[in-house]
Amino acid sequence: MVFNTGAALLDAIVLSVVSREPEGTYGYRITQEVRGVLEVSESTLYPVLRRLQKDACLSVYDQEYGGRNRRYYKVTERGVSQLNMYREEWRNYSSRISGMLLGGGYE
């Protein structure tokens, strides 16, 4: 992709992925889903997960799976609020950019 992916966009995408699972989801699965839309490495995503946890947008718990602990991430109320704000901002931003790039002007 030729366009840069900023921290806010990564935060929004990660929150969106994690919010799809009411009980949360684990890091590797998050990485795979994000990679479905963006070219990012695990070394890029794990700091995003830690930052969102530090900002109280994600809670974390460990659960045994196949004899090993797997770390799960779950969206908090604050994370839902943040995701809703990102969604609204994205609607406005993408509409203006699409209008500019694809013709028809912008609002």
Query: Residue 104: which region, alpha, beta or left (left: phi > 0; alpha: psi -120 to 50)?
Result: left
How far apart (Å, rounded) are the C-alpha atoms in residues 32 and 72?
14
| Domains in the chain, CATH or no CATH each | 7-102 (1.10.10.10)
pLDDT digits 0-9 by tens, 28-76 = 999 999 999 998 888 899 999 999 999 999 999 999 989 999 999 999 9
Average pLDDT over residues 86-107: 86
Q: Please give the model's pTM, rounded to 2 decimal places.
A: 0.88
